[in-house]
Amino acid sequence: MRLGWAIDRRGARSLLAQGFIVLSIVAVVWFLADNTVANLRALGITTGFGFLQRVTSLAIPNSWLDYTAGVSTYGLAITVGFINTLVVSFIVIVLSTVLGMLIGIARLSPNWLLSRSCHTYVEALRNVPVLLHLLFWYQLLLQLPGPRRALNPVAGVFVSNRGIRYPSLEPDSAHVWIALALLAGAAAAAMLGRLNRVNRERTGKGRRIWPLGLFLVAGPPLLAWQATGAKLAFQVPELAGFDFRGGGALTPELSAVVIGLAIYSSAFVAEIVRAGIIGVPAGQWEAADALGLRKVTTLRKIILPQALRIIVPPITNEYLGIIKNTSLAVAVGYPDLVFVVTTTISYTGQAVEGVAIIMLAFLAISLSVSLFMNWYNARVALVAR
Amino acid sequence: MADSQAPTVLPVAEYLPPPMEKGPVAWATKNLFNSWASTLTTIISVLILGNLAWWFLDWAVFRAVWTLPGSGIADTLACRAEEAGACWAQISEKYRFILFGLYPYLEQWRPALCIVIFIALYFSSADRRLWNWRLSVVWAAGLAAIWVLMRGGFLGLPMVSDDLWGGLPVTLSLATFGIAFAFPLAIVVALGRMSTTSPTARFVCLVYVQLIRGVPLISVLFMASVMFPLFLPEGVTVSNLLRAQVAIIIFAAAYLSEAIRGGLQAVDKGQSEAADSLGLGYWQKMILIVIPQALRVVLPPIVSLCISFFKSTSLVMIIGIFDLLNAAKLSVSEPAWQGFGTEAYLFVAMIYFAFCFAMARYGQGLERRLNASR
């Protein structure tokens, strides 16, 4: 009897507490929304996403889409910013992974000088704010000589305070076919590798397939090139007046974001890779040594595949951090999503919608990266047979 | 018979242990010239490092300009000469601006004293022997003293409004107050996410944590700077610095709560059941039994979170707050000092490094000792 009463009382109290939480949240949201509506009315701002259809005068250089300031809409500008965010994230993730992998492995080198230098690199870079890295590289790039006295490290590449200029392919409509042929060839080579692996696991015998694979990757594009007769001419940047013309260009803003973020993140990736390799039991090294495998082969075939299982979860977090850190591009004026949206907010006053767009876009990216990395993690995870 | 069973005695000398490998030559042979690959690595590393070190020394010491006659455009020409290296005169001219921002010049002993109090507080909390209730009293007194010193308005101190605060004290306040206030909030959120009786609390805490962790800090800061003023009733205003501080607290609490939740899950279930059987209530059980054990497990990850929050406070620069990094950036914005950003950024980088590296070292030591006693 008493017990039942106690349970009832506890249930009632829990219900009461939950009702209280819901009510207080509703009250706070109501209060904020009421204030916001009143404030927006006082400022003469119409709420809603109608402003996305309006024409903007925001200038975005080197856009990936057909974007012209004064003609295109805010919606298109924000799309261009979103693509820029994705592009920068991708470049930084690739660069920092490669650099971090090398430094993480080098930190474990038996050579004292090499491992100490890598240790110093990691400690010096990761204990300084990432924004400081970005600003530092940006002001350094702006201090380079002007286009007339541009540095010319490799023929055709010019480095000046207007950014990096490099030779690019003369655009031709047939290039699409060559790219498609390359893609198809690479897919065929991947299939071949897979078949060979399945076959090796079944029969214990593998074939040497790299000559055929090389042919599959390189053959189709060459054939397509011959068949379509596409031009393969390079556009070399030339000095014209006060700036270069022609060729591809990396603006100082993009270069600063990529260099700063990649160097900063590589220190963290290096630590993750190092922890992953240390996490593999020493017996694996010794067993491979006893079998007569060379160090490099041991690392590539025995240690790294096992270390990958330890590495994937923390590196997923690091990649998500990199994507979020690209939002700092706003500090050096690279037109990423955050830069475009904050400029839009200052032009139109649509603060609530703008911040909502930023948050939704980043939530969407974070969620897709988590899903992809979870799938990859499941793939490399230990399969118990 | 005895003769045939006699064991053969081997000469003893051959079984002496190999000589101990000691001394610089043995060390170098083992660590630098172990194999031909190692030797090659050593040679290449020495060449690259030597070149870098020489180039840096040449710039930072041999060709550096240490003093200038004044701070006008004409005075800084010596730094702009083709053969001039680092312009350290910029730092000696601007260090007060970088450290204290626009704080009134004659009152700058106050932020300087605040920096000392902050560092004293950090040191007093580092020693585990002092971890007891008195420490929280010391912290409350210290933070109150810092607030009084910075703001003034009584005890004969002139009032300095917080839009004039700048430099290192702002960075330290944002980080310290941010973590100090985020911590209790994070514990409540972590308990909410693990609540067994209230699905509403669980859901609310889940949405809060995932939302904040999924977006960059800068968007939370934008929310505080451009959206928050719209939320307030007419006539009510909150200063920019305070809004940024609230944003950092909200951001930090989401990350801290995830770390603390990990610790709560690591506490053995028997502890909680034992507390129940002793008749302790929910809060008594949590505060006296579960949370202390959970925090002990997650101290090392919390230290690395603190390092990352400390670095993240530099982002407030983007919404126009005068922190250490922003002060360094603005110190080279006058025409006379333009182009000397490298020196200013290296100077603040060393300050950030000193704090973060000390924290990281402390965290490593803590982890070792906690592991040793387990």
pLDDT tens track for A285-295: 999 999 999 88
For residues A127 and A144, state if they share a domain: yes
Chain B CB within 8 Å of residue A143 CB: yes
Q: What is the pLDDT of residue B15?
A: 66
Residue-wise pLDDT for B55-104, tens only, equals 888 888 888 778 777 766 777 777 777 777 788 877 877 888 888 888 88
Contact (CB<8Å) B357/A127 = yes
Cβ–Cβ of A358/B215 closer than 8 Å?
A: yes
pLDDT in tens, A134-166: 999 998 888 887 777 777 777 778 888 888 887
- Domain match, A9 and A96 both: no
Q: From the candidates A105, A115, A116, A136, which should be mutated to test the interface with B, based on the most B CB atoms within 10 A?
A: A136
Which of A189, A204, A231 is where one domain is finished?
A231
How far is B153 from B162, CA to CA, in rounded Å? Answer: 12
Q: What's the rounded mean pLDDT across residues A331-340?
A: 89
Residue A238: beta bridge partners? A245
Final residue in a domain of this structure, among A180, A211, A231 = A231
Highest mean pLDDT among A125-134, B141-150, B222-231, B320-329: A125-134
My answer on whether A14 and A118 are in the same domain is no
For A55, the 3-state DSSP assignment is strand
Same domain, A184 and A330: no
Residues A354 and A276 in one domain: yes
Is the pLDDT score of B4 beyond 60?
Answer: no
A297/A376 same-domain check? yes
First vs last C-alpha separation in chain B = 60
pLDDT for B129 equals: 79
Domain count for chain A: 3
Q: What is the rounded average pLDDT of the residues B286-301?
A: 86
Nearest-CA neighbor of B370 among B303, B288, B296, B306?
B296
Going A262 to A268 to A271 to A273, the CA torsion angle's sign is negative
pLDDT for B350: 93
For residues A275 and A337, state if they share a domain. yes
Answer yes or no: is A56 within a domain.
no
Q: How far apart are CA B136 and CA A256, in angstroms?
A: 43
> What percentage of chain A has pLDDT greater than the value 90?
23
pLDDT of residue B19: 66
pLDDT of residue A1: 44
In-domain check, residue A69 = no
Q: Is A30 inside any structural domain?
A: yes
CATH of the domain at A352: 1.10.3720.10
A323 shares a domain with A214: no
Average pLDDT over residues B240-258: 91
- Dig out the tokens for B281 from the structure: 């209530």
Give the type of residue at A351.
A
Q: Give the closest residue to A85 by CA, choosing from B130, B215, B99.
A: B215
* pLDDT score of A211: 80
Rounded Cα gap, residues A105 and A111, in angstroms: 12
Average pLDDT over residues B228-244: 81
| Residue whose C-alpha is closest to residue B301's, from B366, B229, B225, B233 | B366
Q: Which of residues 355-384 of A touch B (CB under 8 A)?
A: 355, 358-359, 362-363, 366-367
- Say if residue A194 is in the same domain as residue A342: no
Greater pLDDT, A324 or A8: A324
pTM recorded for the entire structure: 0.84
**pLDDT of residue B12 exceeding 70:** no
Rounded to the nearest 10 degrees, how much is the dihedral formed by the CA atoms of B170, B173, B178, B181?
Answer: -150
Question: In this predicted structure, what is the pLDDT of residue B255?
Answer: 92
A62 falls within a domain: no
- Mean pLDDT of the region B199-221: 88
pLDDT at B1: 44
In a domain, A309, yes or no: yes
CB-nearest to B348 from A21, A39, A132 is: A132
Give me the domain span that covers residue A188. Answer: 172-231
Angle of helix A112-126 relative to helix A74-107, nearest 10 degrees, comes to: 150
Q: Region A341-362: what's the mean pLDDT?
A: 86
Same domain (yes/no): A183, A269: no
Give the nearest partner residue to B214 out of A139, A345, A363, using CB atoms.
A363
Q: What is the pLDDT of residue B11?
A: 60
Query: Looking at the structure, do residues A332 and A251 belong to the same domain, yes or no?
Result: yes
Residue A59 lies in a domain: no
pLDDT of residue B307: 92
pLDDT above 80 for A248: no
Average pLDDT over residues B235-243: 82
**What's the CA dihedral at B249, B250, B252, B257 to 10 degrees?**
120
Q: Please identify, among A183, A215, A231, the residue that sits at the C-terminal boundary of a domain.
A: A231
Within 13 A of A79's CA, how many CA atoms are on the CB side?
11
Whether the pLDDT of residue B10 is over 70: the answer is no
